[in-house]
Chain A
Amino acid sequence: MANLLSLVQNETLKVWKKKRFAVIVLVLLVLIPIFVYAQLKISQNNAAKFADWRSVVQQRITDNMNAIASDRIPEEWKKWRRSLVQQLQYYLDRDVNPDTPNAVTFTATFLENSVTMFIPLMVLAIASDLVSSERASGTIKMLLTRPVRRWKILTSKLIALTLYVSLIIPTAALLSYLIAGLAFGYEGWGAPVFVGFRVNGTAIETSSVHAITQGAYLLMEMGLVWFSAMTVAAISFMVSVLLQSAAASLVTMMAAVISGAILANMASSWSSAKYLFNVNLNLTSYLQGTPPPIEGMSLGFSLVVLAVWGAVSLTTAFAVFTKRDVLN
């Protein structure tokens, strides 16, 4: 009859004391400076070459148009480039710099680039052995022989997982902001970003495009990253319940996440791949207005696919966990 809050406290402290979150912070602290340095080099290079940002954007447009003109580039990449060109042109026409190098834009870009791989991997660091480690170490026998219903124990683990996922994303954003700020300055929250580009066939529809501040954009982006991270967490949670070994569940989930990233690049002709969860993880691309990897995908579609995968996973996890005999 122990209350759920105490159980959540238990699970949260266990993950914390296992130093999982510390590892994530450490990885971020090592990787972000590398990305910041790379970005710094790019902007220094641009500053040396181009008089102002308009020339940089114009050159980007030209380069992409040349790619579009080339026969060697696959049609789906051209589509992506076409929409990029139109967006850049939209920014140029309104005299708004789409990639001012500052800590806020760096953070937004960092999140965009990590939504399909990096964030899921960090989520896996916590989720993949949440249940299987208890089984592997045998502590599950202690855990399940206390006067608490099994569904409550699993719920507490799920809540703890949700809390950690919710912590990871702002932590990644905060660290990225702080570190990038050293190189680019901490300004830029109020700069405008255009959202609402709709991909419509080969053209980009700009009727509902409107400007929001970088700060708002970053918050929305974090919300979307959070949703796809939660889906990965839920599926990983189920795998962790189903599989005995922590290593096996980690490998399974990593394979799923990585294959999703690969599929998203080449699955445009296999249209039923859009029902796979790992192809739908890149929710921030809808915010940016880049074309989805497969025809027919939209924000609503991806959200539904992810939600269904998450719900099925959790249902399976609960059904199995509450009924299964603990045999070893």
Chain B
Amino acid sequence: MAEDSKTESEFDPLPRPPGRASSKLWPILGFTMLGCAILMLAGFVWSLKDAWFPSHGMAVPEPSASARPPQGDWAAKQELKAIALGDSLTRGMGDRTGDGYVRDSIVKLNESLGKKVRLLGNLAINGLTATRLNQQLEQPSYASSVMQADLILFTIGGNDLFRIAQSGGSIAQGGDVSPERLKAKLPEAKPRLEATFSKLRRINPYARIVYVGLFNPFYDVPEARGISETIAEWNAYAQKLAALDGNATVIPTYDLFESNAARYLSSDHFHPNEMGYGRIAERIDQALN
């Protein structure tokens, strides 16, 4: 047909478009789009089916053998791994730089030990009680983080004793701190601390455990002086646990905030500020050298 019309035509044939691209474009484009549309529809229908009539799904591979705790003594190691656990003191609350004693002490240890000290993570949670920490240590995933460390830094107990609100703000405002009540709490809190020490040691038999002791943030408040007595008892208990363990250290802090509380405490009058944390970090550094 096309040839007929050409012979009849008195005109020159029209210049054809190069390759007649537009006529090839459509089938390619059309089929690609159709394929995509079917794919999208299939995905959509599948997602609905999966959401409303879920199948059993694929088998999840068995958990691989977890990492084993590092062994051997520190001197032989190129690099030390540290992990921080516990409550708001370890989290660094009150420190405007956010570093807390953990970062400071890691930096100091880096220099003083002459080897790299690496922080695996700071798993501290504001407002954590010893009870909750013990629960967390039961979780395999949590334990596996602890397992990898050569050095475990932790604080706990403050929330058990002071029963402060989660953010720690209420103490600063209220006179809710009665030395008597604090003292009354001590017997139930002690076994929890013991549980924490033993759990940590069970998870990681080789790591050096560093427990940062409690201090009395209300030393400058005359009515609250009595708190110090309870704090001292708690710290002594921790000291006893550490001694039993053999590879644990308790860092004393009760004296750091007695004489010049306003200088080293943050505005909530409970947590240290960056200078306070710096002093704690110094003690840790000294204790480990």
A–B touching in complex (CB under 8 Å): yes
Contacts of A65 in B (CB 8 A): 125
Residue A325 lies at the interface, judged by CB distance under 8 Å to chain B: no
Residue B60 lies at the interface, judged by CB distance under 8 Å to chain A: yes
User: Among residues 298 to 327 in chain A, which have CB atoms less than 8 Å away from a CB atom of chain B?
Assistant: 299-300, 303
Given A51-B148, A59-B121, A212 contacting B139 (CB threshold 8 A): no
State whether B124 touches A62 (Cβ < 8 A): yes
| Size of interface on A: residues with Cβ below 8 Å to B | 55
Task: Kindly identify which residue among A95, A162, A216, A223 contacts B44, using a CB–CB cutoff of 8 Å.
Answer: A223
Chain A minimum-CB-distance residue to B140: A93
Interface-facing stretch out of A125-133, A166-174, A260-268? A166-174
Given A166-B33, A223-B44, A59 contacting B55 (CB threshold 8 A): no
Contacts of B25 in A (CB 8 A): 13, 16
State whether B67 touches A223 (Cβ < 8 A): no
State whether A58 touches B142 (Cβ < 8 A): yes
Main secondary structure of the interface of A (DSSP, over half): helix
Contacts of A58 in B (CB 8 A): 121, 123, 141-142, 145
A67–B29 alpha-carbon span in the complex (Å): 50
Min distance, Cβ A163 to any Cβ of chain B, angstroms: 4
State whether A51 touches B46 (Cβ < 8 A): no
Contacts of B288 in A (CB 8 A): none
User: Among residues 51 to 68 in chain A, which have CB atoms less than 8 Å away from a CB atom of chain B?
Assistant: 51-52, 54-55, 57-59, 62, 65-66
State whether A66 touches B126 (Cβ < 8 A): yes
Contacts of B44 in A (CB 8 A): 220, 223-224, 226-227
Residue A69 lies at the interface, judged by CB distance under 8 Å to chain B: yes
Residue B1 lies at the interface, judged by CB distance under 8 Å to chain A: no
Task: Kindly identify which residue among A70, A196, A210, A300 contacts B126, using a CB–CB cutoff of 8 Å.
Answer: A70
User: Among residues 14 to 64 in chain B, which have CB atoms less than 8 Å away from a CB atom of chain A?
Assistant: 22, 25-26, 29-30, 32-34, 36-37, 39-48, 50-52, 54-64
Residue A50 lies at the interface, judged by CB distance under 8 Å to chain B: yes
State whether B46 touches A62 (Cβ < 8 A): no
State whether A220 touches B47 (Cβ < 8 A): yes
Residue A96 lies at the interface, judged by CB distance under 8 Å to chain B: yes
User: Among residues 175 to 192 in chain B, which have CB atoms less than 8 Å away from a CB atom of chain A?
Assistant: none
Contacts of B141 in A (CB 8 A): 54, 57-58, 89, 92-93, 95
| Size of interface on B: residues with Cβ below 8 Å to A | 57
Min distance, Cβ B167 to any Cβ of chain A, angstroms: 5
State whether A16 touches B139 (Cβ < 8 A): no
Task: Kindly identify which residue among B47, B121, B122 contacts A287, using a CB–CB cutoff of 8 Å.
Answer: B47
Chain A positions 198 through 217: 1 when the CB is less than 8 Å from some CB of chain B, otherwise 0 = 00000000001011110010
Chain B minimum-CB-distance residue to A5: B30
State whether B26 touches A12 (Cβ < 8 A): yes
A93–B136 alpha-carbon span in the complex (Å): 12
Contacts of B140 in A (CB 8 A): 92-93
Chain B minimum-CB-distance residue to A284: B47
Contacts of B63 in A (CB 8 A): 94-95
Chain A minimum-CB-distance residue to B141: A92
A55–B55 alpha-carbon span in the complex (Å): 31
State whether B36 touches A286 (Cβ < 8 A): no
Residue B208 lies at the interface, judged by CB distance under 8 Å to chain A: no
State whether B36 touches A51 (Cβ < 8 A): no
Contacts of B127 in A (CB 8 A): 69
Residue B279 lies at the interface, judged by CB distance under 8 Å to chain A: no
Contacts of A57 in B (CB 8 A): 141
State whether B148 touches A169 (Cβ < 8 A): no
User: Among residues 124 to 157 in chain A, which have CB atoms less than 8 Å away from a CB atom of chain B?
Assistant: none
Residue A221 lies at the interface, judged by CB distance under 8 Å to chain B: yes
Min distance, Cβ A115 to any Cβ of chain B, angstroms: 13
Residue A219 lies at the interface, judged by CB distance under 8 Å to chain B: yes
A223–B55 alpha-carbon span in the complex (Å): 18
State whether B51 touches A211 (Cβ < 8 A): no
Contacts of B32 in A (CB 8 A): 167
State whether B50 touches A163 (Cβ < 8 A): no
State whether B34 touches A55 (Cβ < 8 A): no
Min distance, Cβ B19 to any Cβ of chain A, angstroms: 16
User: Among residues 63 to 77 in chain B, which have CB atoms less than 8 Å away from a CB atom of chain A?
Assistant: 63-64, 67
A51–B148 alpha-carbon span in the complex (Å): 9
Contacts of B124 in A (CB 8 A): 62, 66
Min distance, Cβ A28 to any Cβ of chain B, angstroms: 15
Residue B269 lies at the interface, judged by CB distance under 8 Å to chain A: no
Closest 7 CB pairs of A and B: A223-B43, A210-B57, A223-B44, A95-B63, A92-B141, A220-B47, A166-B37
Can you list 13 contacts pairing A with B, beta carbon distance less than 8 Å?
Answer: A12-B33, A13-B22, A51-B67, A65-B125, A71-B169, A195-B54, A195-B57, A196-B54, A219-B39, A223-B45, A224-B44, A226-B43, A287-B51
